[in-house]
């Protein structure tokens, strides 16, 4: 396979701009096991999309989720899925292979995970890093985002990947977690999720305390207290 080009196809940037996607990029996934394409091979690349949540809603859940957050979570996920399906179709119309990855869908209920980590594509695309709360943190929006991924075989300019965390000594998310599920470790590429998050403790707490919000799939406290999200909110307030 030849080296990816240095610029994105014009049609792709036009599509992204037309759909008002402000944070996105391409990831080189040739070193990862991805979902299979139509010929049974791994997809070598992916387009990662980061869609922001409503910051006023996000800051409102520092003591626990509410209905506004549950509605926003569902709305943004639905928007991501629609965008991903449309982008995959656009790619296929150009003669390439593609496959959208659904937002927040568990296909492995035992391991409590999906077909591929959206965060892996996002870090390899250079969109952000994984915080101590096991969520992607971006410069513009903090972790107040939802992620979409579209796998493809188009050779695209990728990354550069982000391979270090920028959380410093901050442990606000760890301290705020009501389930005590966050272990406080700083992320680096290849660090197992279990070293950052006790996913079963997190899942059990949400089901026991917040079941009315998408059957215990919502919490968001750790994200609500993240300084990078709060920083983005302050910048937005100054512009208003």
Digit-coded pLDDT (tens) for 13-68 = 999 999 999 999 999 999 999 999 988 999 999 999 999 999 999 999 999 999 99
pLDDT at residue 231, rounded to an integer: 85
Average pLDDT rounded to a whole number, residues 205-217? 95
Gap between the Cα atoms of 69 and 72, Å rounded: 5
Phi/psi zone of residue 22: left (φ > 0), alpha (ψ -120 to 50 degrees), beta? alpha
Please count the structural domains in the chain: 1
20 inside domain: yes
In order, the DSSP letters of 55-124 are: HHHHHTTTTS--HHHHHHHHHHHHHHHHHHHHHHHHHHHTT--EEEE-TT--SBTTTTB-SS-HHHHHHH
1 inside domain: no
Per-residue confidence band for 108, with pLDDT thresholds at 50, 70 and 90: confident
3 inside domain: no
- Whether the Cβ atoms of residue 136 and residue 119 lie closer than 8 Å to each other: yes
Per-residue confidence band for 205, with pLDDT thresholds at 50, 70 and 90: very high
pLDDT at residue 238, rounded to an integer: 59
Mean pLDDT of the chain: 94
Alpha-carbon distances of 161 from 32, 42, 107, 121, 140, rounded to whole Å: 14, 20, 26, 9, 17
4 inside domain: no
Residue 237 has pLDDT above 70, yes or no: no
Helix (H, G, I), strand (E, B) or coil at 136: strand
Per-residue confidence band for 107, with pLDDT thresholds at 50, 70 and 90: confident
53 inside domain: yes
Residue 193, domain extent: 10-239
129 inside domain: yes
Tell me which residue of 36, 45, 39 sits closest to 3, measured CA to CA: 45
Classify residue 214 by its DSSP letter: G
27 inside domain: yes
Q: At how many degrees (to 10) do helices 10-18 and 67-93 cross?
A: 150
5 inside domain: no
Helix (H, G, I), strand (E, B) or coil at 129: strand
């Amino acid at each position: 396979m030849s080296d990816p080009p240095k610029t994105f196809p014009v049609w792709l940037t036009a599509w992204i701009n037309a759909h008002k996607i402000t944070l996105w990029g391409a990831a080189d996934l040739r070193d990862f096991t991805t979902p299979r394409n139509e010929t049974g091979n791994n997809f070598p690349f992916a387009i990662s999309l980061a869609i922001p949540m409503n910051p006023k809603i996000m800051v409102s859940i520092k003591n626990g989720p509410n209905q506004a957050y549950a509605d926003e979570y569902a709305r943004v996920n639905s928007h991501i899925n629609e965008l991903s399906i449309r982008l995959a179709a656009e790619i296929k119309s150009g003669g390439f292979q593609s496959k959208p990855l659904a937002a927040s869908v568990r296909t492995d209920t035992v391991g409590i995970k999906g077909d591929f980590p959206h965060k892996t594509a996002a870090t390899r695309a250079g969109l952000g890093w994984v915080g101590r709360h096991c969520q992607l943190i971006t410069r513009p929006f903090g972790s107040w985002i939802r992620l979409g991924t579209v796998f493809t075989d188009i050779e695209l300019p990728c990354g550069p990947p982000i391979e270090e965390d920028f959380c410093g000594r901050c442990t606000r998310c760890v301290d705020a977690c009501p389930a005590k599920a966050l272990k406080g470790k700083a992320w680096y590429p290849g660090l197992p999720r279990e070293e950052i998050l006790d996913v079963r403790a997190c899942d059990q707490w949400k089901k026991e305390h917040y079941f009315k919000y998408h059957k215990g799939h919502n919490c968001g406290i750790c994200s609500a207290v993240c300084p990078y999200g709060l920083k983005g909110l302050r910048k937005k307030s100054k512009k208003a």
